[in-house]
Every structure is written in structure tokens, then in C-alpha cells.
């Protein structure tokens, strides 16, 4: 009797979460795989075309371009975020047990909780050539020859987006690394000090190696998050000028919701998943591999 009662209770408690999750998360994900083999525009005929969607990608200049742009975002953002967040975390850790610690930590983390749409707009007004803060400041300090249309030119648009994206997320990773620094047992550092290690040596030979696990997490997170970069290019440049800042995510959105190529968009989604998984595996492998 009790057994049966329990079984109903389990079903009842687990039911709502499981049903919603299976319908709205798992089913569409599996369906993406199926749809990637069809030519389908949402309405009308759905024709099986095998791997044609995947073949089409190779010949689609704009897809190849988007793939390259995403690669470029990763190439710039991952190392920059990694280096910056390590430096920030180490700097903040110098103020442990002082009131500055809380102060800096709160400010550095702050952008991470703001809506990314609002961040994009905030920076687009700063970069705006008409009445924008950046050109205004440059003019004020006499550097007016650097005043430009930041988001409208190929030379500056990409860098501007990378800057805003880093501005948004570097705090989160800094705090992640900071938490790991605080977890390093103090006696190891003291022992090194007794052995005559300088501050710099302690950082290089003790702190950084002890942070290996968290740095691995940071690399995977930044990699995956940069792969997904969407709001900043969409809102700051709409992928332009000339698709020079358009990543795969934005191209896929365009295919699905502007051109209504749902089959093709799903195939791009599948490639997206494969890239995510390959990246995680690859990073795990090289960071684990160096352990010997």
C-alpha cells in the first residue's frame, strides 16, 4: 500500500518538470536533427533531401564567412578574457580582508547582471558618431583625428563588439578565478615564502598551477559563450558592415526567421551543437593532456 502511494507521489512530483522539459527542450532539439534533412519553409511541402543542407553549407559563401567570423571572435575573446580575468582576480585578491575587496568585487561583477540588450544599446549610444560619448571625449582631449563612425566601419566595428562583449562578461570570470584563488591553502604560499620565493614567483609557480582546474572551466565557458555571441553583433551592427561582424548564430537566425529556411537553419543548428561538443572535448583533452 505504502509502496504504491509512493509511486504516485513520485509521478506527481516529477511530472510537471519532466513533461515541460521534454516537450519544449528535448523534443525540439531532437527534431532539429530530423529537420536538418528536409527542405522545409514552415508551410507547405516538406521534402526529404538527405544531406543536401549540409552540402549546401560548404558552398554557401555567407555561411563560410559567418563561420570564419565566429572563429575570429573566439580567437580574440577567449585569450583576452582569460588574461584579463586572471589579472583582475589576482589584483583583487591583494585586498583580501580589507574593505576594498568587497568594493572592487561588486563593481567588477556588476555588468554581468544587466540585460545584454541594454548593454548593447548603452554602448551603441557611446559609439554613436552624433553626440556619442567616445567621440565627445576624444574631441575634448584634442584627439579629434581619431573620431570616427565606430560601428559603421569594417576596421573598428569588430573591435568595438569584442570590447563590449568583454566588458559584459569579464567580471563573471574574474570572480570565478578569484573564488579559486581564495581556496588556495595559505600554508603552501607561506612555505614558499620561507623558501625565499618572491611575490612574482609565487604567482607564476604556485597560484597559476593551482588554478588549472578553474582556468579550464573558464576557457570552456568563454569558448562556448563566444560561440553563441548574438545580442552584441545583432544590436550593435546587425552583422555589418558587409557581414564582417556576423557570427553563425546571427546567420542562422537570418536563415530561419528572415528567409524561412527552417531545414537549412536546423542543419546549421546541428553544426552548432557539434562545434560546442568538439570544443569542450578538445579543451578537456589538451588541458588534461598536459598533466601527463
Partner 1 sequence: MKKVIRDFGSHLFLTILSVLIIVPVIWVFVNSVKTSAEILLKPLSLPSKLSLDNYVRAWKEAGLGIGFVNSMYVTIITVFFIVVIAAMAAYVLSRKKFLFRLTIEKIFLMGLMLPTFLSMAPLFLLMNGLNLVNSIPGLMLVYIAYSMSFTIFILIAFFNQIPHSLEEAAIIDGCGPWKLFWKVMFPLAKPGLISAAIFNFVGIWNEYILALILINDDQYKTLPLKLANIMMIQQYHTDWGALYAGLVLSFIPVTIFYLIFQKRLIEGSTAGAIKE
Give the footprint of partner 1 on residues 110-169 (CB under 8 A): 110-118, 120-126, 130-133, 136-137, 140, 167
Q: Which is it for the CA torsion 157, 252, 226, 23, positive or negative?
A: positive
Q: Tell whether residue 77 is a contact of partner 1 (CB under 8 A).
A: no
Q: Does 288 bind partner 1 (CB under 8 A)?
A: no
* Shortest Cβ 197–partner 1 spacing (Å): 13
Please tell me the total number of residues recorded for the chain in this structure. 292
Query: What residues contact 165, with CB distance under 8 A and at least 6 apart?
Result: 73, 77, 226, 229, 232
Residue 70 CB, shortest distance to partner 1, in Å, is 11
Exposed e or buried b for every residue in 10-19, given b needs 16+ CB within 10 A?
eeeeeeeeee
> Pattern of binders to partner 1 over 36-75, x per CB under 8 A?
------x---------------------------------
Tally helices (H) and strands (E) across the chain.
15, 2
Complex with partner 1: residue 29 or 47, whichever CB lies closer: 29
Q: Can you read off the three cell numbers belonging to residue 128?
A: 554613436
Lay out the site mask for partner 1 across 188-227 (x = CB under 8 A, - = otherwise).
Answer: -----------x-------------xx--x---x--x--x
- CA–CA separation, 158 and 241 (whole Å): 9
Give the binding range for partner 1 (CB under 8 A) out of 59-67, 143-151, 179-187, 282-290: 179-187
- φ, ψ for residue 232, nearest 5 deg: -60, -55
Q: What are the φ and ψ backbone dihedral angles of 38, each rounded to 5 degrees?
A: -120, 155
Chain positions 80 to 99 lying near partner 1, rule: CB under 8 A, are: 87-88, 91-92, 94-95
* Partner residues linked to 40 by β-bridges: 46
Q: Contact between 25 and partner 1 (CB under 8 A)?
A: yes
Number of residues that bind partner 1 (CB under 8 A): 96
Cβ distance to partner 1 smaller for residue 188 or 273:
273
> Which range, of 73-81, 144-152, 170-178, 186-194, touches partner 1 by CB under 8 A?
170-178
284 contributes a contact to partner 1 by CB under 8 A = no
Residue of 270, 252, 258 lying closest to 41 (CA atoms): 258
| Of the candidate residues 51, 277, 284, 286, the single one contacting partner 1 (CB under 8 A) | 277
User: Residue 31: which residues within 8 A CB-CB, separation 6 or more?
Assistant: 266
Amino acid at each position: 500500500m505504502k509502496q504504491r502511494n509512493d509511486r504516485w507521489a513520485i509521478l506527481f512530483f516529477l511530472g510537471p518538470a519532466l513533461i515541460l522539459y521534454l516537450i519544449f527542450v528535448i523534443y525540439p532539439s531532437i527534431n532539429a536533427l530530423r529537420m536538418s534533412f528536409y527542405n522545409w519553409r514552415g508551410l507547405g511541402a516538406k521534402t526529404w533531401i538527405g544531406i543536401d543542407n549540409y552540402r549546401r553549407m560548404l558552398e554557401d559563401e555567407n555561411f563560410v564567412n559567418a563561420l570564419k567570423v565566429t572563429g575570429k571572435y573566439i580567437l580574440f575573446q577567449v585569450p583576452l578574457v582569460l588574461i584579463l580575468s586572471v589579472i583582475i582576480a589576482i589584483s583583487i585578491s591583494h585586498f583580501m580582508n580589507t574593505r576594498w575587496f568587497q568594493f572592487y568585487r561588486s563593481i567588477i561583477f556588476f555588468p554581468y547582471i544587466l540585460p545584454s540588450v541594454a548593454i548593447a544599446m548603452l554602448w551603441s549610444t557611446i559609439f554613436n558618431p552624433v553626440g556619442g560619448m567616445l567621440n565627445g571625449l576624444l574631441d575634448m582631449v584634442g584627439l579629434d583625428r581619431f573620431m570616427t563612425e565606430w560601428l559603421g566601419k569594417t576596421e573598428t566595428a569588430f573591435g568595438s563588439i569584442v570590447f563590449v562583449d568583454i566588458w559584459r562578461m569579464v567580471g563573471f570570470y574574474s570572480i570565478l578565478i578569484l573564488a579559486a584563488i581564495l581556496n588556495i591553502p595559505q600554508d603552501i604560499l607561506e612555505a614558499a615564502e620561507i623558501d625565499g620565493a618572491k611575490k612574482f614567483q609565487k604567482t607564476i609557480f604556485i597560484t597559476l598551477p593551482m588554478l588549472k582546474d578553474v582556468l579550464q572551466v573558464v576557457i570552456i565557458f568563454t569558448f562556448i559563450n563566444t560561440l553563441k555571441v548574438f545580442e552584441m553583433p545583432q544590436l550593435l551592427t546587425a552583422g555589418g558592415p558587409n557581414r564582417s561582424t556576423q557570427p553563425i548564430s546571427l546567420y542562422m537566425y537570418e536563415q530561419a526567421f528572415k528567409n524561412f529556411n527552417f531545414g537549412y537553419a536546423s542543419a546549421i543548428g546541428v553544426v552548432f551543437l557539434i562545434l560546442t561538443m568538439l570544443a569542450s572535448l578538445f579543451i578537456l583533452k589538451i588541458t588534461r593532456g598536459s598533466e601527463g
